[in-house]
Each structure stands twice: as C-alpha cells, then as structure tokens.
Amino acid sequence: MTKAQIADAADAAQLSPLEFMLAAMNDPSHDLKFRAQMAQAAAPYVHGKPGEEKAGKKAAAQDRAREVAGGNRFRPVGTPSLSVVKQ
C-alpha cells in the first residue's frame, strides 16, 4: 500500500493514524512485510525510549530554576533586599 492508500483507508474507517496502524498490524489478512512496517511506525507512539522517564522532584526543581534564571546561571534571580544591620 502507498501512503496515500493508507491515509484514504484510515479516513474511510474514521480511525486515528495510530489506531489504523495498530489495527493493520494485528490483521492477519495483510502480508507480513506490511504488518511489520505498521508495527515499526506505531512503536514510538506506544512505547517510550529506554531511559526516558518522568523527571523526579529534584530534576523538576532544577528545571524550574533554569526557567526562572532564563537559562543563564549568572543572571540574578531577584533584586537584592536591603536590610539594616544593628551593630
């Protein structure tokens, strides 16, 4: 099948591209080569990359700090506060 034929078939079935790829992958009436192509195309949307995990609290805090600093580690975060020191 060409890309245009695949797109037309997905539109006719009113499926999202991912749903169409998964359905074609699991359909034994298609040849093995086509099913393998559909599996390869759908894999990144179903399975994450190895090591790609949600960031923990520490990583999220560092990301927020970078956003506040504007990506520059030498930029001051805020204006210095003036306080009176008693001697």
| Helix 17-26 / helix 32-46 crossing angle, nearest 10 deg | 140
> Residues 33, 34, 37, 42: what is their CA dihedral angle, to the nearest 10 degrees?
-140
What tokens does 61 get?
A: 């805090």
Q: Is position 74 within any domain?
A: no
Q: Which pLDDT tens digit goes with each residue over 4-52?
A: 777 777 778 788 888 888 888 899 998 999 999 989 988 888 877 776 6
Q: Is position 83 within any domain?
A: no
Domain that holds residue 46: 1-68
Q: Is position 43 within any domain?
A: yes
Q: Is position 15 within any domain?
A: yes
Alpha helices in 14-56 (DSSP H): 17-26, 32-46
Q: Is position 56 within any domain?
A: yes
Dist. CA 10–CA 44, nearest whole Å: 19
Does the pTM surpass 0.85? The reply is no
Domains in the chain, number: 1
Q: Is position 6 within any domain?
A: yes
pLDDT at 72: 62
Q: Is position 17 within any domain?
A: yes
Q: Which of 2, 5, 46, 39 is nearest to 24 (CA)?
A: 39
Q: Is position 46 within any domain?
A: yes
